[in-house]
């Protein structure tokens, strides 16, 4: 509960490095998550240093393409500025964990309703595992940002990453260089319904 209350999205990071042991603790927490039919549809790719820079150059190229052509997500063009801001944060954080749904397909492919149900279940399982990771990071004094803005550069990123499955998003990890206040939440009385 302490980690749940203390966790914040961190968008400013110190240059201080993170050890392999620290990242391993996060992934150990992630893989303890429940998953639909115990499918454990996850894979975590850890990028740092030069590998992270190269990956983020690919993302920047994808964002530039999307800014020019709006080919992937034309209705979400308003989110592109935020995606560039997220890219800046990803560059600053010393570690980036890319999250793959190993059973997933490209979001730009048509799928049948039963495949969609399975994908929803796998996405929920991945969300649970990501939250475990964020809470463990809070417990051991690290800051994180859960990132979905990779979607604007989806095709470039998944091709460069070279893994089967669906790119679900990413998590930036590092030592926080800010102490954000809690962001507002809906009042419990508005979201909890007794029947």
Give the footprint of ligand FMN on residues 148-177 (CB under 6 A). Answer: 148-149
Give the footprint of ligand FMN on residues 128-147 (CB under 6 A). Answer: 145-147
Q: What angle do CA 126, 122, 7 make, to 5 degrees?
A: 20
86 near ligand FMN, rule: CB under 6 A: yes
Q: Taking the complex as a whole, how short is the minimal distance between the CB of residue 194 and ligand FMN, in angstroms? A: 26
Closer CB to ligand FMN, 5 or 21, in the complex: 5
Q: Which of 8, 12, 61, 105 binds ligand FMN (CB under 6 A)?
A: 8
Closer CB to ligand FMN, 11 or 52, in the complex: 11
Q: Which of 50, 75, 179, 183 binds ligand FMN (CB under 6 A)?
A: 183
| Best CA proximity match to 154, nearest among 191, 100, 115 | 100
What CA–CA distance (Å, rounded) separates 87 from 65? 15
Q: How many angstroms separate the first and last alpha carbons of the chain?
A: 27
Q: Taking the complex as a whole, how short is the minimal distance between the CB of residue 20 and ligand FMN, in angstroms? A: 25
**DSSP secondary structure letters along 1-50:** -HHHHH--B---B-S----HHHHHHHHHHHTTS--GGG---EEEEEEEHH
Which of the ranges 4-12, 36-44, 48-56, 154-162 carries the binding residues for ligand FMN, by CB under 6 A?
Answer: 4-12
What CA–CA distance (Å, rounded) separates 65 from 68? 5
46 near ligand FMN, rule: CB under 6 A: no
What CA–CA distance (Å, rounded) separates 152 from 4? 29
Q: Taking the complex as a whole, how short is the minimal distance between the CB of residue 117 and ligand FMN, in angstroms? A: 19
Give me the residues that bind ligand FMN (CB under 6 A), please. Answer: 8-9, 11, 86, 145-149, 180, 183
């Amino acid at each position: 509960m302490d980690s749940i209350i203390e966790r914040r999205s961190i968008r400013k990071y110190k240059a201080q490095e993170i050890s392999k042991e620290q990242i391993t603790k996060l992934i150990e927490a992630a893989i303890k998550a429940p998953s639909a039919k115990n499918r454990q549809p996850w894979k975590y790719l850890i990028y740092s240093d030069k590998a992270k820079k190269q990956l983020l150059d690919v993302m920047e190229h994808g964002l530039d393409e999307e800014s020019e052509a709006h080919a992937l997500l034309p209705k979400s063009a308003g989110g592109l500025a935020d995606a560039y801001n997220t890219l800046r944060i990803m560059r600053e954080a010393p570690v980036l964990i890319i999250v793959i749904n190993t059973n997933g397909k490209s979001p730009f492919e048509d799928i049948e309703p039963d495949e969609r149900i399975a994908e929803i279940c796998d996405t929920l399982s991945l969300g649970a595992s990501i939250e475990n990771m964020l809470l463990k990071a809070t417990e051991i004094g690290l800051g994180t940002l859960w990132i979905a803005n990779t979607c604007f550069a989806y095709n470039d990123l998944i091709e460069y990453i070279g893994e089967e499955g669906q790119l679900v998003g990413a998590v930036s990890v590092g030592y926080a260089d800010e102490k954000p206040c809690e962001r507002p939440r809906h009042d419990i009385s508005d979201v909890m319904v007794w029947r």
